[in-house]
């Protein structure tokens, strides 16, 4: 059961990456109507939002399966070993997903917001760098 789950997770990550790449190429191509381009742009935006989620989910699930395959078979008495339930619970990453995913998304959104604020500050024509240059260019023709 573990190997098919790992393969499915790897396939999910690959599918997200493939769809992102294909739709970015479609977005750059001409020949699409404005509505089609808008739909592709929305799909790319949605895939960008879901991409970290798919990667994280696949990574956590695959690592849990790999840990179980590597160490779970080394349990001394097989399925009747009393340490097996403790071992299975220790590799269950479902609790960590609920904690780590929001932290990752908040960190990503803060970094993206800081980048946008920095870009707006640099491109603002009323800041101290552009104002004297703008005034000198306007006054040249007078």
Going residue by residue through the chain, which has 142 residues, state the pLDDT in tens, using 9 for 90 and above.
567 777 887 888 888 889 889 988 988 887 888 888 889 889 888 888 888 777 777 777 777 777 777 766 666 556 566 666 666 666 666 667 777 777 877 888 899 899 988 888 777 666 666 677 777 777 776 6
Q: How many residues does the chain have?
A: 142
* DSSP code string of 62-102: HHHHHHHHHHGGG-TTGGG-TTHHHHHHHT-THHHHHHHHH
How far is Cα 138 from Cα 132, in angstroms, rounded to an integer? 10
pTM of the model: 0.53
């Amino acid at each position: 059961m573990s190997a098919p789950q790992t393969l499915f997770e790897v396939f999910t990550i690959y599918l997200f990456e493939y769809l992102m790449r294909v739709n970015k190429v479609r977005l750059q191509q001409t020949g699409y109507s404005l509505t089609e381009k808008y739909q592709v742009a929305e799909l790319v935006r949605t895939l960008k939002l879901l991409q970290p989620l798919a990667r994280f989910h696949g990574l956590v699930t695959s690592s849990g399966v790999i840990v179980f395959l590597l160490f779970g078979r080394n349990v001394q008495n097989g399925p009747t070993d009393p340490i097996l339930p403790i071992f299975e619970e220790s590799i269950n990453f479902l609790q960590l997903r609920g904690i780590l995913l929001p932290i990752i998304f908040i960190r990503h959104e803060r970094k993206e917001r800081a980048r946008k604020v920095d870009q707006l500050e640099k491109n603002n024509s009323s800041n101290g760098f552009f104002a004297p240059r703008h005034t000198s260019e306007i006054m040249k023709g007078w």
